[in-house]
Amino acid sequence: MSVAERTLIGAPVDRLEGREKVTGAAKYAYEYEAANVVHVVGVAATVPSGRVVRVDAESALKLPGVVAVLWHATAPRLAGDTDPELAIMQSDRVSYRGQWIAAVAAETYAAASAAGRALRIDYEEAEHDSVLTADHPALYTPETVNPGFPSETSQGDVDAALAQADVVVDETYRTPTEHNNAMEPHATLAVWDGDDTLTVYDSNQGVRPVRQALASAFSLDPENVRVISPHVGGGFGSKGTPRPNVILAAMAAKVVGRPAKVAVTRQQMFSVTGYRTPTIQRVRLGATRDGRLTAIAHDVVEQTSMLKEFAEQTAVVTRMLYAAPNRRTSHKLARLNVPTPSWMRAPGECPGAYALESAMDELARALDIDPIELRIRNEPELDPESGNRFSTRNLVGCLREGAERFGWKEPPSRDGRWLVGTGVAASTYPARRQPSQAIARADADGSFTIGIAAADIGTGARTVIAQIAADTLEVELERVHVELGDSRLPPAMIAGGSMGTSSWGAAVVKACRGLRPRLGGELPVEVFADTEEDAGGVEREPVSSHGFGAQFVEVGVDSDTGEVRVSRVLGVFACGRIMNAKTARSQFIGGITMGLGMALLEETLLDGRFGAFVNHDLAGYHVAVNADVPAIEVHWLDEFDEHVNPMGAKGIGEIGIVGTAAAVANAIHDATGIRVRELPITPAKLASLI
């Protein structure tokens, strides 16, 4: 048995960069230094719709340390096909409150901030519309939803099946606007070398999209743009695509002829870095008396911006999770004077599963069938959407294993003022991979270097890539060095969609397998690998690949105040082969924790009169903290899915959040008999009903 087989894949290896991070040696984007740097602050629009008539910069330019003021009359022109969210200061148009319509460059951040406040901006304000409603007159059906699914699907005759069903659940569920709020704000340092060579240090989930966006916007050869991002302090999807800070830093650096730094403030992150769209979801389930689903309908209303279309795939999870001969899903959008929504951990599956899994719990109660048994009875043999077989599917195993470990199901009880109940929900997330490239090099000193333009956003990517390489090469982990987060390295899939490890690992395995036969020759020797042609897996047979899981939750609800306390959570998952037990457990727990916040705390409030997010900081936008998080227990079932990648692994970064909010909502209903169908479930909502 090899060293790798004994100790590496699946082993709870500590993060290789852990010491750098806890000692402060790890550098993040804003911490990089450049000589003669200027600090740049974006200035936000204070109206939700209209045009900028004039920017009076005279008083700002007189302040000490101010170098330049940019607005649409003075900013450099970008290429005409620049992403509308990135095309800052290219016209006088204001599409949402908080949009960057000017910027100030100064010798210090404090000076730039003061000058930004001193700018006098005149607007011609127009009528605005910022509030999403189920019957909004401007609703339309997009052609596709993220990342390219058809917006509508239909099988059988849903209306007839619902009319003939023994039992029907027909309810509407709502989720609010939510913001990603990673620890590290979006930040960029831009350095020009002449007019055609640009280096940026940036906080992102993938250096290649940033390089391409900069090259396109400034009409540069992509080879002359270098993006460096070795350490990233979280993203949750908000850094999966380039953001205006990248463009602003490069723009300001070009104007002043000096390196430029931009750090998005916590408040500005609520406007210019994406968010999860609010949703209004009508779910209809029809079933026989013995709990067989005969019809599923899931219709979603959500929002996008005036600048560009983003349609979250909220109902897509309903297309494959349960069997039913008659099924229909749809998405409708309203274009509003709001920032453009984007990815947030498990986009689509997360809010969609909240509605579907809440409705399944309501159906179980209407039928007087155990919620786990109801799900098992509707387990499909093939993917209901595509008709393909599943590469592996072990949802039933997760439900049964979780039921045994959790002690399912204790009846609801009362402990003084506290009403105690339990809930369960299923989770799923697609298991996919994208083409990536990597190099593997053996050096004369006995060490190995893996190079790949992957991103480690705090998930432990470096460590897992090193484990995969060491396992494939059958060498000690200490001999492997990983280089990532640099656009000069071979291109790779971003850290998103739970595809990072799957995509990167496949390229690393291919490179290391190519290197092994050459280790007996002259060193150093390097092998390049590209998975473009084999990214579909080991076979060409079409299969449906997903991870699965089940979350179990116990809550206590104060019968006087409506306060909810989650006392224990269990998650059981089936996600292929686990690469690192320690980092995997952290990812599952992190997803569950974020799901607790979604269920009970997170909500960005919009004042429709002004088109403004009013709780745009961490004092008003509440996320789960230590006091909100109970002991979370995580287990997984051993699997190996050869269809996804040569490691047999599936992505795990997002599945932990998917079913958690529904499990909490179901537990609250179990405890109180009250069904709250609008997240978050706050004491105010419960106290008025108890």
Confidence category of residue 533, pLDDT binned at 50, 70, 90: confident
For residue 317, give both structure tokens.
């999870």
Determine the pLDDT at residue 493.
97
Q: Distance (Å, rounded) from C-alpha 325 to C-alpha 323?
A: 7
Which among 307, 389, 300 is positioned nearest to 352, based on CA atoms? 300
Q: Scanning the structure block, which residue is given the tokens 């901030």?
A: 113
Confidence category of residue 7, pLDDT binned at 50, 70, 90: low
Determine the pLDDT at residue 5.
45
Q: Between 447 and 6, where is the model more confident? A: 447
Q: Distance (Å, rounded) from C-alpha 227 to C-alpha 239?
A: 14
Q: What are phi and psi of 546, to 5 degrees?
A: -145, 155
Residue 540 has pLDDT above 80, yes or no: no
Q: What are phi and psi of 91, to 5 degrees?
A: -150, 175
Q: Scanning the structure block, which residue is given the tokens 């590469």?
A: 391
Determine the pLDDT at residue 60.
96
Q: Summarize pLDDT for 451-460 with one digit per residue, the tens.
A: 999 999 999 9
Mean pLDDT of the region 298-309: 98
Eight-class DSSP state of 337: S
Full-model pTM: 0.96
Q: Summarize pLDDT for 379-417 with one digit per residue, the tens.
A: 999 999 999 999 999 999 999 999 999 999 999 999 999
Which is it for the CA torsion 395, 401, 405, 408, positive or negative?
A: positive
Confidence category of residue 3, pLDDT binned at 50, 70, 90: very low
Q: Distance (Å, rounded) from C-alpha 297 to C-alpha 165?
A: 13
For residue 45, give both structure tokens.
């629009």
Mean pLDDT of the region 192-209: 97
What three-state secondary structure class fits 191? Answer: strand
User: 670: part of which helix (H) or strand (E)?
Assistant: helix 660-672
Torsion of CA 366, 369, 375, 379, to 10 degrees: -110
Which among 133, 492, 496, 154 is positioned nearest to 303, based on CA atoms? 133
Q: Express as a percent the part of the chain with pLDDT over 70.
A: 98
Q: Summarize pLDDT for 330-386 with one digit per residue, the tens.
A: 999 999 999 999 999 999 999 999 999 999 999 999 999 999 999 999 999 999 999
Catalytic residue among 223, 642, 654, 678: 654
Distance of CA 536 to the CA centre of its chain: 23
Residue 2 has pLDDT above 50, yes or no: no
Mean pLDDT of the region 428-450: 97
Contacting residues for 231 by C-beta, under 8 A, at least 6 apart: 17, 20, 21, 26, 27, 28, 456, 485
Is cis: bond before 680, omega within 30 of 0?
Answer: yes
What distances in angstroms separate CA 432 from CA 319, 464, 469, one per listed residue? 17, 18, 20
Region for 89 from its dihedrals, namely left if φ exceeds 0, alpha if ψ lies in -120 to 50, beta otherwise:
left
Contacting residues for 370 by C-beta, under 8 A, at least 6 apart: 364, 409
User: 355: part of which helix (H) or strand (E)?
Assistant: helix 349-367
Average pLDDT along the chain: 96
What distances in angstroms separate CA 285 from CA 165, 332, 365, 664, one per listed residue? 9, 20, 13, 21
For residue 421, give both structure tokens.
């109940």
Determine the pLDDT at residue 541.
80
Confidence category of residue 158, pLDDT binned at 50, 70, 90: very high
For residue 628, give both structure tokens.
């909100």
Distance of CA 56 to the CA centre of its chain: 39
Q: Distance (Å, rounded) from C-alpha 500 to C-alpha 206?
A: 10
478 is catalytic: no
Determine the pLDDT at residue 595.
98
Q: Summarize pLDDT for 418-433 with one digit per residue, the tens.
A: 999 999 999 999 999 9
Contacting residues for 449 by C-beta, under 8 A, at least 6 apart: 439, 440, 441, 443, 480, 481, 482, 483
Q: Summarize pLDDT for 160-172 with one digit per residue, the tens.
A: 999 999 999 999 9
Confidence category of residue 535, pLDDT binned at 50, 70, 90: low
Q: Scanning the structure block, which residue is given the tokens 């706050």?
A: 682
User: Across the beta sheet with 225-228, what order do the strands follow?
Assistant: 66-71, 100-106, 38-44, 260-263, 187-193, 197-202, 225-228
Determine the pLDDT at residue 431.
97
Q: Distance (Å, rounded) from C-alpha 641 to C-alpha 649?
A: 6
For residue 172, give both structure tokens.
């509407």
Q: Distance (Å, rounded) from C-alpha 562 to C-alpha 169?
A: 26
Q: Summarize pLDDT for 88-135 with one digit per residue, the tens.
A: 999 999 999 999 999 999 999 999 999 999 999 999 999 999 999 999
Lowest mean pLDDT among 4-18, 249-263, 507-521: 4-18
